[in-house]
């Protein structure tokens, strides 16, 4: 079942660049929301965002993932496109001015925000709706030649990180996630996004109870078998709190490292993380031992 497609060896992103997937790729999270549950808005503001980006690059981040809208459950701070754009655009422009070779992704479900971010220098669109919520999004990605993360979720932004849509008949969560991701990938390609630009993400914690998140990570090879590189966003998430008994997201760094290494062994090649150095060290050591089984 292991995919050996050449398309999973590199990720095509905007401006004719590509990211080598011959080693674990780390996407450091830079939230520029005033309401992020995980950083309490501490990185709001241009200077703070720049120093956070600089620190993450120094710690070994390959990509900086800039987000201006929180997916926190039933978040009252849901933002319109203009507000979100005004949050992310100047930060992306500032990072590109200071670190011209940086690779930036924009975490948004809105095509207007994605377009502005790509114009400001972002090379990747990270859409947690899997291109479901804004019909103009695939066209924006295709025209820019950008990379795209197609993540599995259900529902709207306000409830996609809840259990409102976590119904999986006969507990067939893996079958559902694989089927729905395959459908989203087909949709992306029919809109003109090339295969080499697409990365799939099972959406840990999105419309999934902790046991669902564990199940999709355990059988992640079935997502990998769809033939696209796979990104996992397990960092500090609730299922890690459930497994470790650690209620404080900031204290879940060790549990997160366990999730990263397990996901790597099951075929994940990209990791969206808060604690870049911990992830870099854990994944580099695990990679030296596990190697790339798919390379044969
Ligand atoms: N998780 C969150 C946000 N964006 N993108 C991808 N591709 N995969 C994920 O798993 C994912 C994501 C939510 O995590 P967090 O950053 O901790 O929360 P917030 O962005 O709401 O602050």
The finding on whether 8 has its CB within 6 A of some atom of ligand 1 is no
Tally of CB atoms within 10 A around 22:
12
The finding on whether 109 has its CB within 6 A of some atom of ligand 1 is no
Please tell me the distance between residue 296's alpha carbon and the centre of ligand 1 in angstroms: 33
Task: Give the start-to-end residue ranges of the domains of the chain.
Answer: 5-295
The catalytic position among 12, 237, 252, 266 is: 237
- Nearest protein CA to atom 1 of ligand 1, as residue: 233
Look up the CATH architecture of domain 5-295: Alpha-Beta Barrel (3.20)
pTM of the model: 0.94
The finding on whether 234 has its CB within 6 A of some atom of ligand 1 is no
**pLDDT string in tens for the chain (296-residue length):** 344 455 568 999 999 999 999 999 999 999 998 754 345 555 457 889 999 999 999 999 999 999 999 888 776 657 899 999 999 999 999 999 999 999 999 999 999 999 999 999 999 999 999 999 999 999 999 999 999 999 999 999 999 999 999 999 999 999 999 999 999 999 999 999 999 999 999 999 999 999 999 999 999 999 999 999 999 999 999 999 999 999 999 999 999 999 999 999 999 999 999 999 999 999 999 999 998 655 43
Which among 228, 11, 32, 19 is positioned nearest to 120, based on CA atoms? 32
- Nearest protein CA to atom 10 of ligand 1, as residue: 233
Please tell me the distance between residue 115's alpha carbon and the centre of ligand 1 in angstroms: 20
């Amino acid at each position: 079942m292991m995919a050996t497609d050449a398309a999973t060896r590199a990720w095509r992103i905007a401006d004719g660049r590509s990211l080598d997937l011959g080693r674990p790729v780390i996407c450091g999270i830079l939230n520029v929301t005033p309401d992020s549950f995980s950083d309490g808005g501490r990185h709001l503001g241009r200077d703070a965002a720049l120093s956070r980006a600089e620190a993450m690059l120094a710690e070994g981040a390959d990509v900086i993932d800039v987000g201006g809208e929180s997916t926190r459950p039933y978040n009252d701070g849901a933002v319109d496109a203009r507000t979100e754009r005004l949050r992310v655009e100047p930060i992306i422009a500032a990072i590109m001015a200071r670190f011209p070779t940086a690779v930036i992704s924009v975490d948004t479900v809105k095509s207007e925000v994605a377009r502005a971010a790509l114009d400001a220098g972002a090379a990747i669109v990270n859409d947690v709706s899997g291109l479901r919520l804004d019909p103009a999004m695939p066209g924006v990605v295709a025209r820019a030649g950008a990379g795209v993360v197609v993540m599995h979720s259900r529902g709207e932004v306000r409830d996609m990180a809840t259990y409102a849509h976590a119904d999986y008949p006969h507990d067939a969560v893996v079958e559902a996630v694989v089927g729905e991701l395959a459908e989203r990938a087909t949709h992306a390609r029919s809109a003109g996004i090339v295969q080499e630009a697409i990365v799939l993400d099972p959406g840990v914690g999105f419309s999934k109870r902790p046991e669902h998140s564990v199940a999709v990570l355990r059988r992640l090879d079935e997502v990998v078998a769809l033939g696209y590189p796979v990104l996992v966003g397990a960092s500090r998430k609730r299922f890690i709190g459930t497994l470790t008994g650690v209620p404080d997201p900031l204290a879940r760094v060790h549990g997160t490292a366990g999730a990263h290494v397990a996901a790597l062994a099951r075929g994940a090649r990209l990791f969206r993380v808060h604690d870049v150095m911990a992830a870099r060290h854990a994944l580099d050591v695990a990679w030296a031992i596990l190697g790339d089984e798919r390379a044969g």
